[in-house]
Amino acid sequence: MKLSIADMRRNYTRDGLLESQAPADPFALFGTWFSQAVEVESTEPNAMMLATVDAEGQPHLRTLLLKGFDERGFVFYTNYQSAKGQQLLAHPKAAMTFWWPDLERQVRIEGAVEVVTDEESDIYYHSRPLGSRLGAWTSPQSEVISGREVLEQRLAEVEAQYAAAPPPRPPHWGGFRVVPQMIEFWQGRPSRLHDRLRFCRDGDDWRRERLAP
């Protein structure tokens, strides 16, 4: 049987999202949805798509993991010298998307980007498994390398260098925070008449509005 992408359809029937179900604070709603995703989603509920832009205006998109959120914004960690790190430092705006298929939900976030404090980066770095900490020293992220053996040789060198003491956080590695100006909550509904509630920052408050699907 020939597979037809055009015929791939799923009717979303799990839940709805009414204004009466949405608190005035979008972080409260995100916290509820994220907790439910942790309970229900089978793989990486904190996985998200992150979009950045380069000097030519070309968008770049990749998947990475959320490592924290609060009323200040959404935090992830990376190599500041990587492609996304350089793009964020030069053009400090980004967009993020979470997709939780088991819950038939999506959250989109857009906003400014800031570097987190050294203290925050240190705390998270030292909470990571040793292999991940060594990996941050090993990989010249986004650079062209001649083969896998380059990484393996560099890892052996790093392991020898820090055999007697735990590795410190690399100065080129740390966190970014996306400070949202917009957060949209999408809940799948039957017949493609999905629920979309958008929160836009309005001074110190948030303005909530419903969007047509």
User: What amino acid occupies position 149?
Assistant: E
Nearest alpha-carbon partner for 173 in 130, 140, 211, 212: 140
Asked whether residue 78 is marked as a ligand-binding residue, the answer is: yes
> 169, 177, 192, 210: which is the annotated catalytic residue?
192
Rounded to the nearest 10 degrees, what angle do helices 130-138 and 148-161 cross at?
Answer: 120
Asked whether residue 124 is marked as a ligand-binding residue, the answer is: yes
Residues 6+ apart with CB under 8 A from 51: 59, 60, 61, 94, 95, 96, 97
Asked whether residue 77 is marked as a ligand-binding residue, the answer is: yes
192 is catalytic: yes
Asked whether residue 193 is marked as a ligand-binding residue, the answer is: yes
Asked whether residue 106 is marked as a ligand-binding residue, the answer is: yes
Asked whether residue 12 is marked as a ligand-binding residue, the answer is: yes
Asked whether residue 67 is marked as a ligand-binding residue, the answer is: yes
Asked whether residue 162 is marked as a ligand-binding residue, the answer is: no
Residues 6+ apart with CB under 8 A from 201: 180, 181, 182, 207
The annotation places the binding site at 9-12, 62-67, 77-78, 84, 106, 124, 128, 132, 141-142, 186, 192-194, 196
The annotation places the binding site for substrate at 9-12, 67, 124, 128, 132, 192-194
The annotation places the binding site for FMN at 62-67, 77-78, 84, 106, 141-142, 186, 196
The residues assigned a catalytic role are 192
